[in-house]
Amino acid sequence: MSRNPELFERACQTIPGGVNSPVRAFRSVGGAPRFIKRAQGPYMWDADDTRYIDYIGSWGPAILGHAHPEVVRAVQEAAVGGLSFGAPTEAEIEIAETIAARIPSIDKLRLVSSGTEATMTAIRLARGVTGRPKIVKFEGCYHGHADSLLVKAGSGLLTFGTPTSAGVPPEFIQHTLVLEYNKLDQVRAAFEEEGKDIACIIVEPVAGNMNLVKPAPGFLEGLRELCTQYGALLIFDEVMTGFRVGPQGVQGLTGIRPDLTTLAKVIGGGMPVGAFGGRADIMEHIAPLGGVYQAGTLSGNPVAVAAGLATLRLLSAPGFYEHLSAQTAKLAQGLAERARAAGVPFSADHIGGMFGIYFSEQVPTSLAEVSACNVERFKKFFHAMLIKGVHFAPSAFEAGFVSATHDDAVIQATLDAAEQAFAKL
């Protein structure tokens, strides 16, 4: 008897839905989530000691593979010196300097403890700096769970069919303009109509919360131009893509410079770290220098920062991203080949260490196209792979993640399992 259903039932007694974040639930695919005991490299082991090849990677942070020895050692050493001080540390300076040196648009940054805090504060800052109320976001993008951003959002909201959260009064979202991703005309029209009231655009420069959807040629460039023209700020939400798609995020790949950038996931190496940063003149509006308030008991936590610093150090190894991208490409192309051989309508896409799998002939370029994919087939494939020891995200609306430890043997084992799974669809 598997312990997972038993643990799930027990969890449901005291934790709503049995999980501490909705995307961990299997509600969209059925069955009990796997309760994880430990993880190492590309693998996780559940309560039955069953091993899985993991393509969730903690939803992004585990880029080095789980429990990288150098990261674990850094955490252990930091923990011995004290868990939290609520006072500045030298390590905070070091991680801030490291991030500012690597992300082209960041002069100054502040550390927080999650991506939600980073995006929430970046929006407040944009409004504070411009004195304008409105913000532009895109349908299917997810920027954490701050009230004004939970409108037609991706990730768990899209997965569970509640794209706009209950509990957010209409007055709280009256200033949130929601447009379609990759539809620059809509953005232009919005600026023509109410440009003087728009504080910022917030965008996932590669969307990873409605499956993987890349920006259409000219889309990000157009956003940049419109923001500059109308005096609004462009916020790249690189919580998912930062240090994931390449050493400088999407802004490094495209050369486009946002005014503000939000980060989390990889920069914490598996511990709770987020950050928002950008041009110095904008960042100096943050308290105690300026009047835009933001704070946090655990911001810059010494143990979390130690994990982040160790991770960032390892990412700068020569050839790291070339290897990560090559492994991700092998996975995506290999899956597409196996599906084709089995006659299953399927496509896959990838960028850096991120990938999307779609039960459709063509790689989707919009939320509408993602939504038209065959979800029932995804569910069957997901379960078939799970039984064979490969754990994808339990949603047809989430990107997947590869780590540097997903070597050729791990990718091959995944493709062998997929060959059998596709044959039975």
Ligand X SMILES: NCC(=O)CCC(=O)O
Tell me which of 137, 214, 265, 330 is the catalytic residue: 265
For ligand X, give the closer residue by CB, 44 or 226: 44
**Binder to ligand X among 4, 18, 23, 111 (CB under 6 A)?**
23
The phi, psi pair for 185, rounded to 5°, reads -60, -40
Least distance in Å: CB of 20 to ligand X?
Answer: 8
Tell me which residue of 346, 352, 382 sits closest to 364, measured CA to CA: 346
Instruction: Show contacts with ligand X in window 133-162 (CB under 6 A).
Output: 142, 155-156
Angle between helices 90-102 and 302-315 (to 10 degrees): 40
324 in Cβ contact with 404 (< 8 Å): yes
**Binder to ligand X among 10, 15, 16, 21 (CB under 6 A)?**
21
Q: Rounded CA gap, 257 and 110, in Å?
A: 18
410 in Cβ contact with 52 (< 8 Å): no
For ligand X, give the closer residue by CB, 347 or 395: 395
Cβ neighbours for 191, distance < 8 A, ≥ 6 positions apart: 198, 226, 229, 230, 232
**Binder to ligand X among 59, 230, 243, 382 (CB under 6 A)?**
59
Does residue 209 bind ligand X (CB under 6 A)? yes
Least distance in Å: CB of 23 to ligand X?
Answer: 4
Give rounded-to-5 percent helix, strand, coil for the chain.
45, 15, 40
For ligand X, give the closer residue by CB, 41 or 140: 140
Annotated catalytic, 142?
yes
For ligand X, give the closer residue by CB, 243 or 422: 243
Q: Rounded CA gap, 208 and 214, in Å?
A: 9
Does residue 213 bind ligand X (CB under 6 A)? no
Least distance in Å: CB of 97 to ligand X?
Answer: 27
Positions of E strands within 223-341: 233-237, 260-263, 274-278
**Binder to ligand X among 286, 398, 402, 422 (CB under 6 A)?**
398
Does residue 117 bind ligand X (CB under 6 A)? no
Instruction: Show contacts with ligand X in window 173-202 (CB under 6 A).
Output: none
Angle among Cα 304, 310, 316 to the nearest 5 degrees reads 135
For ligand X, give the closer residue by CB, 156 or 252: 156
Site string for ligand X, 278-317 (x = CB under 6 A): ----------------------------------------
- Find the residue with minimal CB distance to ligand X: 21
Point out which residues pair with 177 in neighbouring strands. Answer: 136
Least distance in Å: CB of 323 to ligand X?
Answer: 23
Long-range contacts of 286-289 (CB under 8 A, 24+ apart): 286/110, 286/121, 286/125
For ligand X, give the closer residue by CB, 59 or 191: 59
Tell me which of 237, 259, 321, 379 is the catalytic residue: 237
For ligand X, give the closer residue by CB, 259 or 398: 398
End-to-end CA distance of the chain: give it in Å, rounded: 27
Residues in contact with ligand X, counted by CB under 6 A, come to a total of: 8
Dihedral sign, Cα of residue 145, residue 148, residue 149, residue 153: positive
Least distance in Å: CB of 153 to ligand X?
Answer: 10
Q: Which helix (H) or strand (E) holds 74?
A: helix 69-80
Least distance in Å: CB of 142 to ligand X?
Answer: 6
Annotated catalytic, 265?
yes
Cβ neighbours for 348, distance < 8 A, ≥ 6 positions apart: 331, 332, 333, 335, 336, 355, 356, 357, 358, 363
Least distance in Å: CB of 135 to ligand X?
Answer: 20
For ligand X, give the closer residue by CB, 148 or 209: 209
Annotated catalytic, 197?
no
Tell me which of 43, 52, 55, 142 is the catalytic residue: 142
Longest Cα separation, the chain: 63
418 in Cβ contact with 338 (< 8 Å): yes
Least distance in Å: CB of 395 to ligand X?
Answer: 8
Q: Which residues make up the interface to ligand X (CB under 6 A)?
A: 21, 23, 59, 142, 155-156, 209, 398
Q: Which residues are catalytic?
A: 142, 237, 265
